[in-house]
């Protein structure tokens, strides 16, 4: 269920959001990252993902988010839970600074390993560009957000 901006701003200001992050690995061992167009983490390279909606099961959220973020539907049973993570940001989708809330996510990180012949064509709604990154380069590049780098320890 989508809600109006005023209600959502109150929610972001007063509660954590629940989300799913998708750590997508190709047959070469590279991880898919997108360059974020929206706050929080705007401009950083980040794994795809998004929030779970009210009254939406985790399975339904996983299907919706893989379609929206990867351009293809996957089942949660095709992925492995990496763990539960917390992401804290000083800004939010509403901006940064006075009158704008910070953001707190409780994140379910899932590892999705693609078959060698699988090709993704992710939409560019949340990310301006996509690229496959080796874990080594991800660890060392400051443009990769620390919250995305944190998943590497669990792979």
Residues forming the annotated binding site for Mg(2+)? 49, 69, 126
What distance in Å separates the CA atoms of residue 18 and residue 8, rounded to the nearest whole number? 13
Report yes or no: 17 and 103 within 8 Å, Cβ to Cβ.
yes
Q: What is the DSSP letter of 72?
A: S
User: Which residue intervals of the chain are DSSP H helices?
Assistant: 5-14, 58-70, 135-140, 146-149
What distance in Å separates the CA atoms of residue 105 and residue 86, rounded to the nearest whole number? 6
Annotated binding site: 49, 69, 126
Sign of CA dihedral 56, 59, 62, 67: negative
Selection from 141, 134, 138 nearest residue 149 by Cα? 138
């Amino acid at each position: 269920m989508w809600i109006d901006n005023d209600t959502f701003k109150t929610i972001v200001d007063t509660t954590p959001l629940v989300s799913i992050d998708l750590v997508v690995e190709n047959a070469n061992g590279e991880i898919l990252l997108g360059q974020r167009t929206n706050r929080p983490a705007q401009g950083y390279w980040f794994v795809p993902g998004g929030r779970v909606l009210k009254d939406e099961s985790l399975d339904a959220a996983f299907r919706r988010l893989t379609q929206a973020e990867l351009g293809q539907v996957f089942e949660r049973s095709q992925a492995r839970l990496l763990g539960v993570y917390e992401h804290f940001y000083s800004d939010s989708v509403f901006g940064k600074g006075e009158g704008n809330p910070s953001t707190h996510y409780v994140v379910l990180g899932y590892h999705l390993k693609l078959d060698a012949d699988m090709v993704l064509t992710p939409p560019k709604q949340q990310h301006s560009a996509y690229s496959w990154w080796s874990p080594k380069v991800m660890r060392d590049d400051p443009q990769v957000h620390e919250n995305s780098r944190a998943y590497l320890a669990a792979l």
